[in-house]
Chains A and B, each alone.
Chain A
């Protein structure tokens, strides 16, 4: 019998490992919406506005970060072709420290509380650096030709670097000491975070999930082999280039071209998919890629038209396009494939050949619920972009739509996890005396 690389069920992480992250993440986006409601039209008045700093980190660390951490914990053993050591413990540690650290950081930033920031520093720092090290070390064992593993490793290095820069800036906020080049460091922090950690991770993961879940042709080998590494080198080169505007523009243009190639290739592959049926995740991906292309176009336009760069709306527009438009759309869309699949897979593998019937993925998370939330997400994105130009009339509706969208996402994840609990109870009952229980909650 042939033995293709596969994990035994005992080696796959328990479902509680990713679910605890997925269940917490939308709460941070809801909190960001509440912060926007509380702050009102002034939120986008300056990129240094404390409430905006808090809201941004609620989204990047709380919503996007926690979801990506959970998804990586799930994917790591598969990508590395080896089980993770004590996944439940690692997940509990990273999740608890991460969640606590994010709450402290965002409270400290939004309400200017140095004491909260002093506590956030070691807690959040250890969570992020521990996680980055875990990914880099675990993926040492991955096959050299596994391009997703390679990109994931580069993304984790970028996470580590972003976290170190963030900790430096945080110590400045917490202790108030003088920090030279604070603006340059902030720019590098957000560029490495959004393009390095988030961007390279999305690119690497898409090599696997886009062909698999959306039934597209594979990404061209030239892209899978070179793109992530090239972007990583360009991003690293930005650090010494911070004092040379011309070099910065050159590196930025190459980065913009790299991300545009990725977005256009993804849209092309998705138009060539085998089954042309409507799909919520596909629409989320399309919205994400169009937002990425708009962000690239906006950045390039601002290089040509200096007035645009100086406009008050420029930074918020770029931020909303990259965070809500690109990253949150893709993450939200992928959750609708990952969560029902994991619930179904774990139940199916536990039930045995003659156990209770397991609902299919569409029953675990009905398409109509996902579709409704998707339209709310895109309505929120559109209204947030519009609110940058018409803050007085559109900030509150945008905040309400954004909060409602993430509340609905949270309820959808809860629905799937409740189905897991219910059917799992039936499986334990059917198996007699709860023989399956220790495996399930390990």
Chain B
């Protein structure tokens, strides 16, 4: 599965969400997005569900988060981040 990475750390809200939604809008079948962000994006999760995406979050030791996002119906991407 091809991975795209989006580094949205320390961007002012809602820029991380704006960039994430733009990125998943153009996500091809078989691709997934790895989002790097400085805090848990609580308000993003309901939109992901509504838009038909699955996600998995992982909290890093430095307080940042990694979130894997992929189309529902596709196999979950393997490897990190593991379930938090």
Contact = CB atoms under 8 A, between A and B. Distances in A.
| Chain B binds chain A | yes
Interface stretch (A143-151, A162-170, A347-355): A347-355
Interface string A2-38: 1011111100100000000000000000000000000
Contacts, number: 59
A275 interface: yes
B interface secondary structure, majority: mixed
B57 to A, nearest CB: 5
B28 interface: no
A348 B21 contact: yes
B31 to A, nearest CB: 14
Interface residues of A, number: 26
Contact of A2 (B17, B39, B52, B83): B83
Interface in A314-358: 341, 344-345, 348-349, 352-354
Contact of B10 (A5, A7, A274): A274
A349 B47 contact: yes
A361 interface: yes
A215 interface: yes
A361 B39 CA distance: 20
A360 interface: yes
Nearest to B24: A353
B62 interface: no
Contacts of A354: 25
Given A6-B45, A353-B25, A345 B14 contact: yes
A361 B25 contact: no
Contact of A1 (B18, B25, B50, B56): B56
Interface in B48-65: 49-52, 54-57
B12 A215 contact: yes
B42 to A, nearest CB: 4
Contact of A353 (B39, B42, B51, B54): B51
B57 A6 contact: no
A12 B13 CA distance: 18
Contacts of A9: 46-47, 50
Interface string B50-84: 11101111000000000000000000000000011
Interface of B: 10, 12-14, 17-18, 21, 24-25, 39-40, 42-43, 45-47, 49-52, 54-57, 83-84
8 contacts: A2-B83, A5-B42, A6-B45, A6-B46, A78-B42, A274-B10, A353-B25, A360-B18
